[in-house]
Amino acid sequence: MSDLDLVIVNAKVTTLDRQNPAADAISIRDGRFLAVGSEAEVRASAPNAQIIDVKARRVIPGLIDSHTHIIRGGLNYNMELRWDGVPSLFEAMAMLKAQVDRTPAPQWVRVVGGFTEHQFAEKRLPTLDEINAVAPDTPVFIMHLYDRALLNAAALRVVGYTKSTANPPGGEIVRDASGNPTGLLLAQPNATILYSTLAKGPALPPEYQVNSTRHFMREINSLGVTSVVDAGGGFQNYPDDYQIIEKLHADGQMTVRISYNLFTQKPKEELADFSSWVKQVSPGQGDDTYRHNGAGEMLVYSAADFEDFRVERPDMPPNMESDLEPVVRLLAENRWPWRLHATYDETIDRALDVFEKVNRDVPLEGINWFFDHAETISDRNIDRIAALGGGIAVQHRMAFQGEYFVERYGAKAAERTPPIRRMMEAGVPVGAGTDATRVASYNPWVSLSWLVTSRTVGGLTLYPQHARLDRETALRLWTEANTWFSNEQGKKGQIIAGQLADLAVLSDDYFSVAESDIVHLRSVITILGGKVVHGENEYETLAPSLPAPMPDWSPVATVGGYHKSREARAKLMQFCGCANNCGVHGHDHAAALGANAPTSDARTFWGSFGCGCWAV
């Protein structure tokens, strides 16, 4: 598109501006909203603009993910087969076999998070025998949440795990009766065994990582996301592992605004990391597209609890406070915001002891520090955070792990995991995000569905009605509320004249679709700073085209990212003679998957979870 003014007409605009909550049209000039109101006044504000008619679709501010791992995720996206949103294990395994068949040696097939066994109709993971049957020679690595990984025999050979390989601290290499590794790796509860094993696989060369990151950014653009806060990550050191994203920024190829936090990399060297980094970079350094955001989510390793609800809550070691205090003191003295991963109230309680102690010497007021996750936080600790001026960023991990939490702690305890309404009532800034790409999917609509319905991706209802959020409140947590977590309040997150012109035109109306359809929403037009960065269907030509995914065997080239059942249905309807509207396959019929259903009665198998295309 050109640099002309842009006008969007025939729209149902949700501005999230309480003074002007709804509009019919929007004009954009120089990357910012110019006018928001009636079509007549908007057209008058930009008489020579390019016009886009969105045909009465819902328009919302661009979504902001306050906790994701886009920098790491982008480096690997083109190598990963995504099972995010795939409704059955049968289909997931068909996808796996097809990818095995097209992946050349010595490359691996990797399914790295973003899904849970509970989303599958079969309510289980594949067995090692099933994986070995479809992949006898190609290494396969499948990571489920942060609790386990499944490796086929070929992968075990290339990573070198044998009878004599010792278990790492906090991890288990599961063995058979003879002591040989089976291919199952367990985080008990430390996920390092999963990370370190995955790191043994081939990496993409730099030019492919550039391509991969561009495709990942475009993928989340397709879901309406225009900004993220990157929470760092293991094996993501600064500045070495930021070269690709910084090249994309320098070349003007960013289609997502990124604020990044710095994540310490080595136990016992945390203070040295941050002492070095405070001399290299300052919070806010950068521009509106790429900027530094402070420290975390790992500040010190002794303060990091783990979120695998299949295992008992870990107690933090006695040295947690003595490790954490000098780091927090350094950050406070340098006015660095920080974020701290903390799943359990017990961890939060001890961290707050440290924060309160530092606050007596170095006031924390005005530093936008916050906890991430906080699933089991108590009312007392919510109020302590409020008193110190901190915030809480919540993610939809319970949508993926709710069943495990209920199994361990009971349905009553799960009713406030996390207690979002109580946080908001206490005046604590609260924002929403995904924690993608490993522990949960990057799809914001999974989070919005969970916030509104309280249901997991497996269909389990977690929260009573009074604890759920209405649709507007949930949307605010994904837009204007998240700007607090990157110190950008008033700059974006609403459709208001003067703010950055980031928006999404939705595939269906978020405010009127059935609750069960929220998760299926997408963006048909995504605009970043007044430029179209994603277009679908009749709007596809508005966005710049991307180069083909690299390498050519990439799963992205064939199945893309998040499972697009609704999109597939719409496209296939053009070519398919049947009128069936199957909730499981769309028009990708069961019989076309290239394998038999794992039952003698295909009609009963597929029909039991809503499929009417079993015989097609």
Question: CATH number of the domain that 309 lies in?
Answer: 3.20.20.140
For residue 568, the model assigns a pLDDT of 47
Report if residue 508 sits inside a domain. Answer: yes
pLDDT of 7 above 90:
yes
78 vs 608 pLDDT, higher one: 78
Report, as an integer, the average pLDDT of 492-508: 98
Last residue of a domain, which of 137, 172, 200?
200
Residues 165 and 210 occupy one common structural domain: no
> What distance lies between CA 226 and its chain's CA centroid?
13
Residues 162 and 279 occupy one common structural domain: no
473 vs 4 pLDDT, higher one: 473
pLDDT of 444 above 50:
yes
Report, as an integer, the average pLDDT of 142-164: 97
Residues 105 and 178 occupy one common structural domain: yes
pLDDT of 595 above 50:
no
Show the tokens assigned to 364: 């924390």
Residues 192 and 250 occupy one common structural domain: no
Residues 125 and 269 occupy one common structural domain: no
Residue 543, SS3 per DSSP: coil
Sheet holding 63-68, edge to edge: 63-68, 225-230, 257-262, 290-295
pLDDT classification of 307: cutoffs 50, 70, 90: confident
pLDDT classification of 190: cutoffs 50, 70, 90: confident
For residue 564, the model assigns a pLDDT of 80
Residues 133 and 191 occupy one common structural domain: yes
Residues 147 and 228 occupy one common structural domain: no
For residue 611, the model assigns a pLDDT of 62
Report if residue 540 sits inside a domain. Answer: no
- Do the Cβ atoms of 45 and 497 come closer than 8 Å? no
Report, as an integer, the average pLDDT of 147-155: 97
pLDDT classification of 604: cutoffs 50, 70, 90: low
pLDDT classification of 560: cutoffs 50, 70, 90: very high
User: Burial, 602: exposed, middle or buried (Cβ in 10 Å; 0-12, 13-18, 19+)?
Assistant: middle
**Number of structural domains the chain divides into:** 3
Say whether pTM exceeds 0.95: no
Show the tokens assigned to 234: 């293991």
Residues 164 and 132 occupy one common structural domain: yes
pLDDT single digits (tens) 215-271: 999 999 999 999 999 999 987 889 999 999 999 999 999 999 999 999 999 999 999
pLDDT of 593 above 70:
no
Provide the mean pLDDT of the chain.
93
**CA gap 21, 78 in Å, rounded:** 40
Of 189, 188, 212, 187, nearest in space to 197 by CA: 187
Report if residue 544 sits inside a domain. Answer: no
Report if residue 549 sits inside a domain. Answer: no
Task: State the DSSP H helix or E strand holding residue 244, giving kind and residue range, or none if neither.
Answer: helix 243-250
pLDDT of 592 above 70:
no
574 vs 436 pLDDT, higher one: 436
Last residue of a domain, which of 200, 233, 264?
200
Report if residue 437 sits inside a domain. Answer: yes
For residue 261, the model assigns a pLDDT of 98
> What distance lies between CA 209 and its chain's CA centroid?
19
Report, as an integer, the average pLDDT of 42-47: 98
- Do the Cβ atoms of 216 and 245 come closer than 8 Å? no
Residues 444 and 462 occupy one common structural domain: yes
CA-CA-CA-CA torsion sign (487, 493, 496, 500): positive
Report if residue 468 sits inside a domain. Answer: yes
Residues 313 and 435 occupy one common structural domain: yes
Least confident of 48-52, 86-90, 273-277, 611-615: 611-615
Residues 313 and 441 occupy one common structural domain: yes
Residues 320 and 464 occupy one common structural domain: yes
Last residue of a domain, which of 489, 517, 545?
517
Domain that holds residue 503: 206-517
Report if residue 579 sits inside a domain. Answer: no
- Do the Cβ atoms of 225 and 74 come closer than 8 Å? no
For residue 583, the model assigns a pLDDT of 52
Q: What CATH number corresponds to the domain at position 117?
A: 3.10.310.70
For residue 158, the model assigns a pLDDT of 98
pLDDT of 321 above 90:
yes
pLDDT of 610 above 80:
no
DSSP annotation of 313:
P
User: Burial, 369: exposed, middle or buried (Cβ in 10 Å; 0-12, 13-18, 19+)?
Assistant: buried
pLDDT classification of 596: cutoffs 50, 70, 90: very low
For residue 575, the model assigns a pLDDT of 34
Report if residue 299 sits inside a domain. Answer: yes
Task: State the DSSP H helix or E strand holding residue 430, giving kind and residue range, or none if neither.
Answer: strand 430-433
